[in-house]
Amino acid sequence: MPGAALRDAVAQARRWYWQRISAMVLALCVVLHLAGMVWAVRGGLSAAEILSRTQGNLLFAGFYTVFVLACAVHVPIGLVSIAREWWRWSPMAAAWFARIVTAALLLLGLRAVWGVYAPGA
């Protein structure tokens, strides 16, 4: 049994580490996103003008892809904890719920990135 307890402790430490790292990435992404939106709106750009500048721009696509991936790392770790501690779900049910939400985040988030990046998408 000590081996299982050690494995659980190591897994928990890894989840803690990845949630903190992804939170740092998300914090930076949120600040940059908000600064960019304030700059664009204060500059008088319309939504159509903003889209015309983002379409085909690999820098924007890369930035928002990192944003989506950081969300996909951060959110499921927290969801598993919430589902287990607050909702009293089993570990397996909580993990499957988090996997489904992660898949949806990735699918919808990357589709949004593609929609902003790809001309005529």
What is 3-37 written as a DSSP string? Answer: HHHHHHHHHHHHHHHHHHHHHHHHHHHHHHHHHHH
Report residue 74 as tokens.
């951060």
Q: How many CB atoms lie within 10 A of CB 51?
A: 15
Task: Report, as an integer, the average pLDDT of 47-53.
Answer: 88
> What pTM, to 2 d.p., does this model score?
0.89
pLDDT digits (tens, 9 = 90+) for 68-89: 999 999 999 999 999 999 999 9
- CA torsion sign, 26 to 93 to 112 to 58? positive
pLDDT digits (tens, 9 = 90+) for 14-48: 999 999 999 999 999 999 999 999 999 898 988 88
Give the pLDDT band of residue 121 (cuts 50, 70, 90).
low
Q: What's the gap between Cα 90 and its chain centre?
A: 24
The verdict on domain 2-117 having CATH code 1.20.1300.10 is: yes
**Residue 82 DSSP SS3:** helix
